[in-house]
Structure 1
């Protein structure tokens, strides 16, 4: 038996057989913050499954055909799945252990363990299609690093493999950002290519977060610049960092590494007032936003 709690990057299968992935470690009462990613049609590349969400990003997720719920505490709508509809819960660390013990066969296993050579001792998981067991010949490797110390050790000691220029082009097109802007936020430690396979490293807190700790209200679009400082919280989802009198929170994962550390940035997002705390939220429906170095 694995852990009973739900964490970011976990997967669940609903009663209809569709696969969802969790976003954030927040545990609302009776439901999950999760987006629908795969549905079975018999025609898809993923062993008959097709992607419901062909491209990442909040702006794409907003039009996904699934249930959304308005969350007054966050001043935003989130994709949700009722817990009563969850049939199976898949944990990335369990899937990694099965690959490690060779209990589960995958053509990606050799690339995965070669990618990890030289890394410090970490608590790891695999997410994405390999977690579900529906990976195909061109699938990516999506790995999860758990915990604050693990995230910091990884960023300090892993230098990355080959760069992934395809990610830069795709992200520029998907987020409508100039190529130079995407190059400035690219970090091959977390996205790259190894032995011809694209990889990503994602970071997850090990603690469940409380639901609805603050009540937030939108104050409209804001653009600002200044020195941003982010510790390991910038690597988790959503990313969090401080800039002057603001807490910057990004629901767009592409900005996580540029929020880690200290640098001067320009920011566009939605200004939220959360019980007196001023937040700039990146990834709202009404304003896509960005965090870019200057």
Structure 2
């Protein structure tokens, strides 16, 4: 469901999608943007060829096949250095955006009328959450959002906005393992191997990061769920962080709802230096652009972290940045 940009009510949030004036489709990243540009990237490019992603007028080829900041950076024309991230990030100028796709509006549309098997499975998924009292904040993303999905090949991609809604969704999925099923052993091993290779972590570390409330099987279809607090902010009003270099520490992560957002924040209660640049003060948190680590950040635990050490003069704090094109880093649950 497309809509024109009008004002404050159209403030975009993480995993909203958009169509540009030349009919390419992209994804919004995070909740912090400006009136002049959105942090995001083009995921699908319009093409004259037949592909599996089509609507009534056009077909699309997937430009970004897997989310890797280096690949996204390579395929993005517009980039800008963001002081808050201390990193160059992909952006989409607001003047080239023709329509915004709102995940919550699309979920309501599918709930009231599904037009194919995939939409009907998505509708059933949403109905289950509604039946559990989770009636706000549920959104649909992925290829279902701009209606270019293929019922045979596409998966179910959801996002839940709001803190209470996120907690309730996680609890409901955990309490209903027969409805929201774990991956098969073969699929789980495939997922573990792929994520271990992409993030350069041991297989067992990747295994520890799998959760049904993030990924599983519903109605015979694979699903993924992201979570978001639903709060917009201006990226220009956030403090600057300066990168000092690579560091490696062992941390104790406190359980925190901030871990569910994207980019994700892990609150650190204790840390031990291992190597690289030495922090000259307390390391307050980790900021990660890699969604794999969300369960660890949300639930807490011990981990080894390799990333970019950053310092904010305004806050007089240190943090570690993970998952950016300058240095991917990695986090291994211990």
TM-score by length of 1: 0.93
Residues 120, 154 of structure 1: 8 Å contact kept: no
What RMSD in Å do the two structures reach over aligned CA positions? 1.8
* 1:87 partnered with 2:103: no
Q: What does residue 157 of structure 1 align with?
A: 172
Q: What does residue 282 of structure 1 align with?
A: 322
Deviates more, 1:40-49 or 1:252-261: 40-49
Segments of 5+ residues of structure 2 without an aligned counterpart are 175-179, 271-281
Residues 59, 283 of structure 1: 8 Å contact kept: no
Distance in 2, matches of 1:177 and 1:135, equals 32
Q: Is the partner of 1:138 in helix, strand or coil?
A: coil
Distance in 1, matches of 2:197 and 2:53, equals 24
Q: What does residue 227 of structure 2 align with?
A: 203
Distance in 1, matches of 2:123 and 2:85, equals 39
Q: Which has the higher helix share?
A: 2
Query: Which of 117, 139, 143 is equivalent to 1:107?
Result: 117
Give the superposition deviation at 1:174: 2.8
Give the superposition deviation at 1:261: 2.1
Residues 229, 261 of structure 2: 8 Å contact kept: yes
Distance in 2, matches of 1:9 and 1:65, equals 17
Q: Which runs of 4+ in 1 moved over 6 A?
A: none
Q: What does residue 277 of structure 2 align with?
A: none
Query: Which of 77, 89, 100 is equivalent to 1:78?
Result: 89
Q: What does residue 28 of structure 1 align with?
A: 34
Number of equivalences? 293
Segments of 5+ residues of structure 1 without an aligned counterpart are none
Distance in 2, matches of 1:143 and 1:195, equals 15
Q: What does residue 62 of structure 1 align with?
A: 73
Distance in 2, matches of 1:5 and 1:65, equals 22
Give the superposition deviation at 1:284: 2.3
Counterparts in 2 of 1:1-294, with a 5 A limit? Answer: 3-41=9-47, 42-47=49-54, 48-102=59-113, 104-116=114-126, 117=128, 119-122=132-135, 123-136=137-150, 137-159=152-174, 160-163=180-183, 164-165=187-188, 166-212=190-236, 213-243=238-268, 244=270, 245-246=282-283, 247-275=285-313, 276-294=316-334
TM-score by length of 2: 0.83
